[in-house]
């Protein structure tokens, strides 16, 4: 079972919790996730399954889109609603113009200090482990990019926003810094990821929906492909070619082949038929491509040990 599916992650579970549940549902060990979500956060969590776990390397710097709510009036030690308040709550009166003006300062390439409760490492130790032990934490600012930060509404002490960010951006830190700017404290009350790379919230299924789909597929012998994103939708920035029977056999064996000219593309996705993504190939020279990442190896090829046994048994 090889493919990519998108889970609508519920609040309260870690990304690894979701991976473990999907492993049990699919009865498949090789499952990984793209782009960690905090337990508080919900929404788009793409999972790569089987041989397609090798595609994870293409998503390490993917753009992400979020919608969320910032609550003003007090900060927390985790910069979100799961943390301990840093002080008593205070009454806040916000205007849309005031919040929008501050939000503008966060658009573009900015310096950002990660939250103390984060996976950022200090001398090889994740910051959150030090924070839990109340040890001093000195996280250095890092450069991040917020491509869009739009204020959708202001309701009392709560601000609803939409943000489109490059990888590595902490919206918890944005909420915390906005509270500092206004002098009243703030934290991220809720966060929902709406998109990661080409995957949208409309693609997402709940864990319960995936379980029901797999039960249905097993009862009727097939149909589990309906759970997965169509392979032709993956990595849209890389052009696709469809291999012939002959070239597909060579590609599955990891051998270089001549493929159609594609405007000097450096990499191509190689399909066999309409649905089977068999490799990501890199141009060697001219129309010669080498399948550096083989996603559907030649299963008919036999090992030398198998061949020796076959000679002795007559098979």
| Residues carrying an active site annotation | 38
Residues 6+ apart with CB under 8 A from 167: 35, 60, 61, 62, 63, 64
CB atoms within 10 A of CB 259: 21
Look-up of token digits 């009865």: 27
**How far apart are alpha carbons 56 and 37 in whole angstroms?**
16
Per 3-state DSSP, the chain is made up of helix, strand and coil in percentages (nearest 5) of 30, 35, 40
Give the DSSP per-residue string, 110-162. Answer: EEEPPPSSSS-EETTEEHHHHHHTT----PPPEEEEEEEEEEEEEETTEEEEE
Q: Which two tokens stand for residue 241?
A: 């070619």
Using DSSP, state whether 308 is helix, strand or coil.
Answer: helix
Tokens of 57: 């390397």
CA 120 remoteness from chain centre:
17
């Amino acid at each position: 079972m090889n493919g990519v599916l998108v889970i609508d992650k519920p609040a309260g579970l870690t990304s690894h919790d979701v991976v473990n549940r999907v492993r049990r549902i699919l009865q498949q060990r090789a499952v990984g996730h793209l782009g960690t979500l905090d337990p508080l956060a919900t929404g788009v969590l793409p999972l790569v399954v089987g041989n397609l776990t090798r595609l994870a390397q293409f998503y390490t710097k993917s753009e992400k889109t979020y919608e969320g709510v910032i609550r003003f009036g007090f900060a927390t030690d985790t910069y979100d609603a799961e943390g301990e308040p840093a002080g008593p709550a205070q009454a806040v009166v916000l205007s849309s113009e005031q919040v929008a003006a501050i939000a503008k300062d966060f658009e573009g390439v900015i310096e950002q200090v990660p939250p103390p409760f984060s996976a950022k490492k200090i001398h090889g130790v994740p910051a959150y482990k030090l924070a839990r032990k109340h040890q001093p934490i000195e996280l250095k600012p890092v450069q991040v990019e917020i491509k869009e930060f739009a204020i959708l509404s202001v309701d009392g002490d709560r601000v609803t926003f939409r943000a489109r960010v490059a990888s590595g951006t902490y919206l918890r830190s944005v909420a915390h810094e906005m509270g500092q700017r206004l002098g009243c404290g703030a934290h991220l009350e809720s966060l929902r990821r709406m998109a990661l790379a080409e995957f949208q919230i409309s693609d997402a299924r709940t864990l319960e929906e995936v379980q029901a789909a797999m039960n249905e597929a097993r009862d009727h012998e097939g149909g589990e492909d309906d759970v997965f994103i169509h392979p032709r939708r993956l990595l849209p920035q890389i052009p696709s070619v469809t291999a012939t029977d002959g070239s597909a056999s060579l590609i599955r064996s990891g051998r270089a082949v001549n493929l159609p000219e594609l405007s000097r593309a450096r990499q191509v996705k190689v399909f066999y038929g309409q649905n089977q993504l068999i490799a990501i190939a890199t141009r060697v020279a001219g129309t010669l491509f080498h399948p550096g990442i083989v996603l559907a190896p030649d299963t008919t090829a036999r090992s030398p040990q198998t061949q020796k046994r076959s000679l002795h048994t007559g098979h």
